[in-house]
Amino acid sequence: AKALAQRLCYYTLSPGTCLDRIVHISTFSDRLEHIYEVPRDHVVQEGKHFVGLFFAVIALGCMYTSFDDSGEQVSYETAMDQGRQYYRNARTMLKDLTECRDVVSIQAMLYMILFQQATSDLSACYGYLGIALRSALRIGLHRSIEHDQMNPVQREIRRRVFYAIRQMDIYVSALLGFPLLLQTDDIDQPFPAEIDDEFITVQGVIQPPPGTPSFFQAFNANTRLMETLHKITKYVYPVKASGQGAIKGNRP
């Protein structure tokens, strides 16, 4: 069971969402090892939220089983059914989603949203996205906060989680024709550092060798592309026609 879980996590975190990374890989792996060492009835509340994140990650991993080189062929319907079982487990561990007040719970919600995208359930996706964004605002993920008790890993995770929500907000809102949930003027959180996980530790950030590429160069580029999409939907296809110079009958 552990080997299967690790393989499904790999599908999600590496090939599946490597350009949309929400977790710190080594931190996630360490906590994953820990939950297999602790009896389930001894898991504290914070640990339960991580178990919810864990189930959400493997639910999404089920949708990427085509990356499996073991020769096993799993149909899309079978993969979706397996993913939904883990998705329900994640939902159970999080309990009341509207009361999520920690980063781990929001990470779990984001992987649940990605699962909903993978299964083409955009309506549920938009609803969960609103909850995730409000939870993020409540704990200040949209703000640049310098705190002595916050280590480099925690700081980068906060940035990654917020900008993953920002990308999804713009993309899903544009697809569904709904208004954006958060405006640019409300944000002063810097982009994630363009440094991969192996160079970011609790003790500090290690400068990578010159010319070392990072997944977060693509992550940040995608955020800027989403902001461009937002400007297009706002100014090229506005909900309201401009009263100045608008000519009746000439709008497409």
CA distance 88 to 52: 10
Q: Which of the four pLDDT bands, split at 50, 70 and 90, describes residue 246?
A: very low
Q: Is the pLDDT of residue 125 over 70?
A: yes
Phi, psi of 83 (to 5 degrees): -60, -40
Question: Could you read off the pLDDT of 164-221 as tens digits, one per residue?
Answer: 999 999 998 888 888 888 888 889 999 999 999 999 999 999 999 988 999 999 999 9
| pLDDT confidence of residue 42 | 63
pLDDT tier at 68, thresholds 50, 70, 90 = low
- pLDDT interval class at 102 (50, 70, 90): very high
Tell whether the model's pLDDT for residue 115 goes beyond 90: yes
Residue 241 pLDDT exceeds 80: no
pLDDT tens-digit map of 142-168: 999 877 788 999 999 999 999 999 999
User: Average pLDDT over the chain, rounded to whole?
Assistant: 86
CA separation for the pair 178, 125 (Å, rounded): 13
- The pTM score is 0.88
Residues contacting 171, CB < 8 A, separation 6+: 226, 229
Confidence class for position 133, pLDDT limits 50, 70, 90:
very high
- Which of 71-85, 88-102, 140-154, 178-192 has the least mean pLDDT? 71-85
* Predicted confidence (pLDDT) per residue in 18-62, tens digit: 888 899 999 999 999 888 887 766 666 557 889 999 999 999 999
Predicted confidence at residue 248, as pLDDT, reads 46
> Among residues 49, 54, 60, which one has the least CA distance to residue 28?
54
Provide CB contacts within 8 A for 191, sequence distance 6+.
159, 163, 216, 220, 223
Tokens of 87: 């998705």
| 119: region left, alpha or beta (phi > 0 left; psi from -120 to 50 alpha) | alpha
**Residue 73 to residue 211: CA distance in whole angstroms:** 39
Considering only residues 129 and 242, tell me which one the structure prediction assigns the higher pLDDT: 129
